[in-house]
């Protein structure tokens, strides 16, 4: 029993990922976990590029890789398709936009058992998809505490710690019998909502710094701003579909920031006294942004970051905040939300 290796199912949702799916699968193939004790389920959302062709090629060469269909095309549906097909005692959710260190699966299993946890995950190191200056700046902002707050799987930690959520996640299969499956109403944010349900049930999620993956976000400014806006919307829309608090408080900070700027800005046009709070909020934010941008510039020994990072930080926070405002409006007029609020 000492050498027993539990059977592991890796679930990878994907759609139109011809650029990255090979990098993802290659990193899993070279993992040191015994191949006869693992299955990799790639659940494709009916891709329109060469993704399916690439996955089929891997499935022909490696018997532990399988391609499954996700007609609904959204991530939570893909995860649930995988859960229904899993044979593993342990389920690891992976992302097609990422690659994984050689010991990723082994360490997930090791620490899940070592700490008797219900879910473990690791540090997600953000790297630019294209190695240009804007891409590097986006990666830096997306992994800095000023940019993403206390998202420790993004910013890092030097010791294991209990958290609300992690990137991906390695779960004991029985967790899904106790907590349920992923909420298919949530196009985004389904991991966070699921892990908060897990927490509410008294189960534990741990962040382990020795577990490492590499994530590759879009590296152009337009896509980054669009993603920030959509993420902001989906920080609020989960309230429409659940009776629990579906996000952490840090996800609501950009909403509070943008709302206060708009409110005091409008009020100051009618009454001068409101101009000073408006100026104070803008001033403090700008000073913080410049301060952290300067620290990053000094650390990276590149003065150009001092000029671009304040723009990236503002795009991240304001885009997210505006998205959250739109999401709040959609929730406020949602009959389903108010029905959930008054559930016994």
Do 147 and 69 belong together in one domain? yes
Do 213 and 270 belong together in one domain? no
Does 232 reside within a domain? no
**Could you tell me the CA-to-CA distances from 4 to 51, 65, 108, 115, 117 in Å, in that order?**
35, 22, 15, 17, 18
Structure tokens at 40: 């990799």
Do 176 and 276 belong together in one domain? no
Does 1 reside within a domain? no
Instruction: Tell me which residue range forms the domain holding 24.
Output: 8-219
Does 159 reside within a domain? yes
Cα–Cα distance for residue pair 5/37, rounded to 1 Å: 7
Judge whether residue 242 has pLDDT over 90: no
pLDDT tens per residue, range 141-200: 999 999 999 889 999 999 999 999 999 999 999 999 999 999 999 988 899 999 999 999
Do 14 and 102 belong together in one domain? yes
Q: Are 25 and 65 in contact (CB under 8 A)?
A: yes
Do 320 and 187 belong together in one domain? no
pLDDT tens per residue, range 269-307: 999 999 999 999 999 999 999 999 999 999 999 999 999
Contacts 24+ apart (CB under 8 A), 130-136: 130/219, 130/220, 132/219, 133/304, 133/308, 134/219, 134/220, 134/221, 134/308, 135/219, 135/220
Does 134 reside within a domain? yes
Percent of the chain whose pLDDT exceeds 90: 84
Do 208 and 92 belong together in one domain? yes
Cα–Cα distance for residue pair 93/95, rounded to 1 Å: 7
pTM for the predicted model, two decimal places: 0.89
Judge whether residue 342 has pLDDT over 60: no
Q: Are 299 and 128 in contact (CB under 8 A)?
A: no
Query: How many structural domains is the chain composed of?
Result: 2
């Amino acid at each position: 029993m000492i050498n027993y290796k539990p059977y592991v199912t890796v679930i990878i949702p994907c759609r139109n990922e011809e650029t990255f799916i090979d990098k993802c699968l290659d990193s899993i193939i070279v993992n040191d976990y015994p191949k006869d004790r693992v299955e990799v389920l790639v659940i494709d959302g009916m891709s329109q590029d060469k993704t399916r062709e690439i996955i089929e090629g891997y499935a022909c060469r490696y018997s532990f890789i399988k391609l499954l269909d996700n007609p609904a095309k959204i991530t939570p549906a893909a995860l649930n398709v995988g859960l229904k097909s899993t044979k593993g005692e342990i389920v690891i959710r992976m992302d097609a936009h990422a690659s994984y260190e050689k010991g990723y699966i082994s360490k997930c299993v090791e620490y899940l058992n070592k700490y008797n946890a219900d879910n473990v995950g690791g540090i997600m190191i953000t790297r630019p998809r294209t190695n240009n200056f804007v891409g590097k700046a986006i990666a830096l902002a997306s992994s800095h505490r000023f940019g993403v707050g206390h998202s420790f799987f993004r910013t890092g930690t030097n010791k294991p710690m209990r958290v609300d959520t992690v990137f991906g996640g390695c779960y004991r299969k029985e967790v899904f019998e106790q907590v349920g499956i992923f909420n298919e109403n949530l196009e985004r944010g389904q991991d966070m909502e699921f892990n908060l349900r897990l927490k509410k049930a008294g189960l534990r999620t741990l962040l382990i710094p020795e577990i490492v993956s590499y994530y590759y976000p879009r590296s152009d400014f337009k896509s980054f701003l669009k993603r920030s806006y959509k993420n902001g919307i989906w920080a609020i829309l989960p309230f429409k579909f659940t009776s629990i608090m579906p996000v952490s408080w840090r996800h609501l900070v950009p909403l509070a920031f943008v709302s206060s700027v708009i409110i005091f800005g409008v009020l100051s046009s009618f009454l001068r006294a409101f101009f000073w709070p408006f100026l104070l909020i803008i001033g403090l934010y700008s000073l913080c942004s410049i301060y952290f941008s300067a620290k990053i510039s000094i650390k990276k020994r590149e003065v150009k970051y001092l000029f671009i990072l304040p723009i990236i930080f503002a795009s991240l926070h304001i885009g997210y905040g505006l998205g959250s405002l739109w999401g709040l409006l959609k929730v406020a007029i949602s009959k389903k939300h108010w029905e959930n609020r008054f559930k016994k």
